[in-house]
Each structure stands twice: as structure tokens, then as C-alpha cells.
Amino acid sequence: MTELWELSAEETARRVRSREVSAVDVVESALARTARVEPLIHAWLELFEDEARERAAEIDRNPIGPLAGVTVALKDNMNVAGWPLTCASKILSGYVAPYTATAVRRLIDAGAVILGRANMDEFAMGSSCENSAYQVTRNPWDLGTVPGGSSGGPAAAVAAGSAALGIGSDTGGSVRQPAALCGLVGVKPTWGRVSRYGLVAFASSTDQIGPLARDVRDAALATGILAGPDPNDSTCSTRPAEDYLARIEDGIEGLRVGVIQEIDASTFDPASGRVWREALERLQAAGAELVEVSVPSLDAAIAVYYVIAMSEASANLARFDGVRYGRRAEKADNLLDLYLASRSEGFGPEVKRRIMLGTFALSSGYYQAYYGKARGVLERMRQELHAALEKADVVATPTAPGAAFGIGEKTDDPLAMYLSDIFTTPASLTGLPAVSVPSGLDDRGLPLSLQLMGRPFEEATVFRAARAFEFQGSFRLAPTFREAG
């Protein structure tokens, strides 16, 4: 018998609306599942069980909304009024959000139940969820491996059945990469498609909120709810929200899928190469036409992204100084000492590294050599990807270079860690929509994933392609909780 925590978000909401099941029972099932798996995966920073039960009871009195009773794991960098918010950093200890983020408000208005704050890499800076100041999250598929990052907490929670949906932020791949490593569907909408009001900024030119789900339909449903204009965010598009489920089952007969010629599959490990080739064959079997496209600047994506993102982070994180909120150093003789001590005590090593590198890239005498040059290469990349999307309707790549790696395997080699984002950063830099969808398993039984990128604001086409690919034999296996190591 299927337990309530196993149901898709779409099916859960249907049953709650029809009163086949109660939202209270759905929440109790999720909390019971969480009690079983959380000691293994450490996905949550804080659960709000009483609030979730009260919210569920409220929904049962009036069970309406496309997400009625659906449980959600929220990355801890989005404001919920009255809840603590830490971004998994000590520098925000004691901070309580004064208002609710627009994206979160839209989920609540749609009937969702936010279960709590999920773990993340500190200030969304990382690709493994090992940079949290509070705990290391583990991958439900293999407890000795990482869940990816920075949205590793929501990804692990959804993959383990602790919540039906996860909501994360994607700056350079922070929704899609953990989705790939945890066998989920992850979405980065077009930049500006979803309001960022109430999201703690990392790199403002690429930050975007997106869902993690167990199938493409749930991901499309959640994206449609999150999307739409917001007067509180001047960078948010004025385009109205769309129903991404309306034509999601139309198939991809005749759809052109671009394959980037600069991707050298011979550099992949054997299993990743095999699954990549099989993914392209499955797209063809579903009716798509494969066309070769060229993105010569692909190899520069990581360098460009990290110069731009670190530069923007150094500016955005200047506001965390221990003066108005968060951690404040106890011993400081003057204002400068207060800044230095508070930031030195409050920020972790990866955040400090990025602030310093970003400050250097923006400094007098180096600005044009680093930040200016990166912006120039970015513009060329934008032109190349737009040209590719004139020849093709969507562009396919792997989501990540391989499956989940071991906990601690890359912590001493930041460059190796950064390369986890090699295929996700181009869509982030250029603002394109992209979806990560499971494509197979490697030789260890760990998930691998396909990424599909589309034209700006054409999420519907990307979802249709992802759904057709998923429909052509993609797996839906419950993660196994193997012993670490």
C-alpha cells in the first residue's frame, strides 16, 4: 500500500481537494517519515511541526489550491515572517525574518505546508552541502556521498520522502546539480521569471528560485505557482504566470534538440558517457531531431561564472556586519574592529574565500583584467547560446560531470568542487531556463542526469521535452539507505 509521503505533489493535492485524504494525515505521514530518515541524512536545520499541523488543519477546513496539503522543504535563505533565517551561517544567528518572501507566499496561498528550514551551503556558496555552519547533509542514495549543493538540504529531503517538494535557489546550478545527484527533477526558470523578493542575495545577476521534485509534472506545477510579476522586485518580469501542465504531454515529435559539439564525451567516466549517449538515443526515440550546435565559450563558463559571482557576492555580503542584526562580536574597541571581528567569526572558510576573491577582482587596477574581461566573455557566450537556440528548440547537456562524490572528497580542492557546475553555469550566466531530469544510473547505482536548456521564457517547451524524455523509460526508484562507505 502506498503511503501518503510517497504520493506526488499533484496527486496529494487532488486527494486533499476531493477530501479522499486530509491534509493533517499528509503532514503526519511526512513527519513520521522524517523521524525515520532525518537521523541518517541531516537535511533539516529546523522543523516547525506544530505550525505545520496547524496549517494542515486550516487547509482541511477549506481544501482548495493547486498545492493543497503538499509538504515543502524550504531552503534556509528565503524569509518566512516570524521564523529564524540563517543561510546556514553563524553570522545570522538570532535573526528572525520580518516578512515572507513572495515565492513562499505564493506556495502558501496555493495550499502548501512549509515543514521547516532545510540545510544548505553557507550563503548558497558550495556544490556539496558540506559548507553549512551547522551540519553536513548526506545523499539518500548513498550516505557516504554528498547530495550536491547549495540546495542540498531540500534535495535530500525530497529524495528521502521527507517532503513532496523542495524549494531552492539556483545561482550557478544550485537547484539542478543537487537534483541530478539525488535523482530528482530540478528547475532554474528564466532569470526574472520568479520574484526574488525575500531571497537573500548571493549573485544578483544570476540568482533565481526554483523547485525540486520527484517528477517533471510536479516540477512544472510548482514553477507555474512560483512564477509571475511582483511589484516588490523590479527585476521580475511583468509576464503573467503560465500553466506549464497545459501541453506538457504533447510529446516532442519533430522538436530539435541541440547537442553541443564542444562537449567531449570521451572525457567522461565510462558510465557517465554511456548514460549520456543513451539519453540522446532516448530523445530520438521520443521523436526529437538531434542537431549539432556550437558553443565555443563553454570551456570558459566556470571561470566567467566564478569571477562574476564572487564579485557580486563581495558586494551583497557587505551588509552582514554585526551592526543591525545577526551575530555581533563581543570584543571590539571601535567600529572597524567590530566589522572585522563579527565577519571573521561569523563567516565560514568558503564564504570568506569568495568575498576576498570578489573584492580582489573588483579592486582598482584589476577590475578590467578580471571582472571586465569576464563580462566580455559572458556576452560572447550569450550570443553563442542564442544562436544555438535558433538552430534548436532546446539544448541538451549532462547536468553534472558525474554522479555524487564522497563526503570530504573535494573539500580540500576548491577548483575540483567548482567544476561540478561546468554544465549548469552557462544557463545561469545567460538567464536561460533549464531543467535537470534523471537519465540513468552509474555503475554504483547512483543517479545521473540530463539538462535541457531553452529560450528565454519558453519553460513550457523545456518541460514538454523533459516530460517526453522522462516518459521514455526514466527511473523512479526509492532511494536506498546504504551504510556510509
44 closest CA partner among 136, 175, 142:
136
**Segments in 49-200 forming alpha helices (H):** 49-61, 102-109, 152-159, 176-181
166 closest CA partner among 185, 180, 192:
185
175 closest CA partner among 424, 410, 423:
424
Active-site positions? 75, 150, 174
End-to-end Cα distance, the chain: 32
Report DSSP letters for 400-413, one per residue: SSSSPPBTTSSTT-
Q: Report the C-alpha gap between 67 and 451 in whole angstroms.
A: 26
374 closest CA partner among 438, 464, 331, 310:
310
What grid cell was written down for 113?
Answer: 505546508
226 closest CA partner among 248, 211, 247:
211
In residues, how long is the chain? 485
Strand 434-441 and strand 447-454: the pairing is antiparallel
Residue 480 CA to its chain's centroid (Å):
22
Pair 152, 119: CB distance under 8 Å: yes
Torsion (CA) 481, 162, 94, 408 in degrees, nearest 10: 20
Collect all residues with Cβ–Cβ distance below 8 Å to 379 and sequence separation of at least 6. Answer: none
Pair 385, 258: CB distance under 8 Å: no
Q: Report the C-alpha gap between 318 and 321 in whole angstroms.
A: 7
Pair 51, 309: CB distance under 8 Å: no
DSSP 479: P
Residue 359 CA to its chain's centroid (Å):
26
Pair 30, 48: CB distance under 8 Å: no
Task: Kindly calculate the radius of gyration of the chain based on its CA atoms and give it in whole angstroms.
Answer: 21
